[in-house]
Structure 1
Amino acid sequence: MSLSIADSGIRLAVLCIVMALVATLVYRFTSLGSVRVVPGALVRGALQLAAISLILAAALAHIWSAILVLVGMFAAASFTAARRCGAGTSGAWLTIALASGIGVVLPLMLLSGVVPLEGIALVPIGGIVLGGAMTATSMAAKRGLDAVDDRYGEVEAALSLGFSQRDARWEVARTAASDALLPGVDQTRTVGLVTLPGAFVGVLLATGSAVQAGAVQILVLAGLLLAQTCSVAVALELVARGFVFRGKTVRPARVR
């Protein structure tokens, strides 16, 4: 049993346009910002989804093309994480943090046999895990760098007590950076009670089986938690050791 909610007909287009117009009116009369924000975002999203739909239709047919899609997604995620944390070119080191997350989760899923080595399974699950790791990595790096900048007096105090540069920066950045894990943990705690995540809804609509949808969703959530934990830990280490730093400040010596 499957259920089709959205088709590509005129009703879908009209409904999306109406919702965008209503949101634009709210922007206009409440002075939330430019009235072009919502229409612009919707048009951009539609074009991107149209492009990726065409690409995936061809890519998912072969495992090698599916891997190429994942590589492209990984490159985009690395660039986005570096840009969001405001670390300039040093943000490229966050690629290691992302790789540590996705590099642990996907092999475990594939070797266990739970996720088949097929494009139709590899790309969606890999994309979800990669997206979660990207968000957590950029947030951890940004908050860690903010903490080091704002509380540098505490770093110097720790140094005066005999801490190494790495340990002093780690202690200051650790609490702030670990906050990047809270959204994923909260999502897992409230799943089914407050929200029905996309993987659950997608499988439910495609198969009509709530049990199968729940199994896929818990697999995705477990993978997200592991990937985000690994990525945040590595991102924090990179900040503490001075590999990732703010571009407008003097580069700290890489420390051990």
Structure 2
Amino acid sequence: MDLTAASLVPVNVTLGVLLAVLLISAAGAVAWFHLAPDIRTNRSREVLTAGLRAALQLIAVSLVITWAVTSPLGLVIFLAVMFTVAVRTAGRRITSDDSWWLAAAPIFAGVVPVVAALELTGLVPLKGITLIPITGILIGGALTATVLAGRRSLDALSLRHGEVEAAMALGFPDRDARLEIVRPAASDALLPGLDQTRTVGLVTLPGAFVGMLLGGATPVMAAAVQLFVLIALMAVQSVAVGVTVELVARGRLHRPRQDGTKP
């Protein structure tokens, strides 16, 4: 085993036992503190399911990643699956009606221009070994921002619907009336990315930085790559939040009414 491999977490029975204990502890903490939006939602079970799914998915990815990074067809399929799963996950977190698929718009609008700029400038070669992890990081960031922006926006509209109706009574167009409520609420979706960027190196050492150091890169090179990732993520998330706000304000992305009808 070389120095790089030895520096990583060893894959053995101890690791498996510790992971199981941590996962059960997380589910137990959720159950103990009743961390669920309502009595019908079993967040504890969701935590367990998420952990098990992550394990199975990572095993599956480890089996197909070689094909994905060496075959053009594999690269396209892999990226398409990543995008599709992200859209489905984000959309279903935001709403239970048939407008969930519109979560594709903010994720696409945030990720594609950044990836295209990287390819056009030649900073990232058109190879699966580099394109898959970078695109995955950006899609993950867009997913998180879209979910937070969408949920906060729709929650704000539900709680403050009287203010929206009052603004419309004063002559505001529907979009503008909703926008006054949605925009401040959705802006909080940018906070995780902002905090991560502001505290990098002081509170946390992110994965890209540590991974490059373990791979033999110089600290300066590792820092440059990590800075790029953080700045790119802020760009992706800003666009994703903006598009999500616009979709909600225009009534395209919505939740079903209590009577089951569409807004």
Whether TM exceeds 0.5 here: the answer is: yes
The answer for the alignment partner of 2:17 in structure 1 is 17
Give the CA deviation at 1:141: 0.8
Give the CA deviation at 1:180: 0.5
Are the aligned partners of 1:147 and 1:176 in contact in 2 as well (CA < 8 Å)? yes
Distance 1:226 1:44 in 2: 29
- Using the size of structure 2 for normalisation, the TM-score is 0.86
- Which structure has more relative contact order (CA 8 Å, sep 6+)? It is 1
2:15 partner amino acid:
L
Q: State the SS of the aligned residue for 1:251.
A: coil
Give the CA deviation at 1:248: 3.3
The answer for the alignment partner of 1:3 in structure 2 is 4
Are the aligned partners of 2:68 and 2:128 in contact in 1 as well (CA < 8 Å)? yes
Paired residues for 1:170-181 under 5 Å: 170-181=179-190
Paired residues for 1:19-98 under 5 Å: 19-21=19-21, 24=24, 27=28, 31=32, 41-98=50-107
2:221 partner amino acid:
Q
1:222 aligned to which of 222, 231, 249: 231
Give the CA deviation at 1:183: 0.5
The answer for the alignment partner of 1:251 in structure 2 is 262
More moved, 19-28 vs 108-117: 19-28
Are the aligned partners of 1:63 and 1:117 in contact in 2 as well (CA < 8 Å)? no
The answer for the alignment partner of 1:148 in structure 2 is 157
More moved, 153-162 vs 237-246: 153-162
- Using the size of structure 1 for normalisation, the TM-score is 0.88
Change (3 A) 1:41 1:133: closer
More moved, 187-196 vs 197-206: 197-206
1:135 partner amino acid:
T
Aligned length: 249
Give the CA deviation at 1:45: 2.4
Unaligned runs of 5+ in 1: none
1:45 partner amino acid:
A
Deviation string, structure 1 residues 94-147 (Cα, Å, up to 9, x no partner): 211111001111011111111111110100000000000011011101110111
Deviation string, structure 1 residues 218-255 (Cα, Å, up to 9, x no partner): 11111111111111101110000010110235433xxx
Deviation string, structure 1 residues 155-180 (Cα, Å, up to 9, x no partner): 01111221100000011111111110
Unaligned runs of 5+ in 2: 35-41
Are the aligned partners of 1:181 and 1:229 in contact in 2 as well (CA < 8 Å)? yes
1:220 partner amino acid:
V
Change (3 A) 1:168 1:2: farther
Give the CA deviation at 1:36: 7.4
The answer for the alignment partner of 1:234 in structure 2 is 243
Distance 1:232 1:25 in 2: 33
What is the aligned-residue RMSD (CA, Å)?
2.5
Q: Percent of pairs identical after alignment?
A: 45
Give the CA deviation at 1:91: 1.5
Distance 2:25 2:161 in 1: 45
1:244 partner amino acid:
L
Change (3 A) 1:120 1:242: same
Q: State the SS of the aligned residue for 2:99.
A: helix
Give the CA deviation at 1:52: 0.6
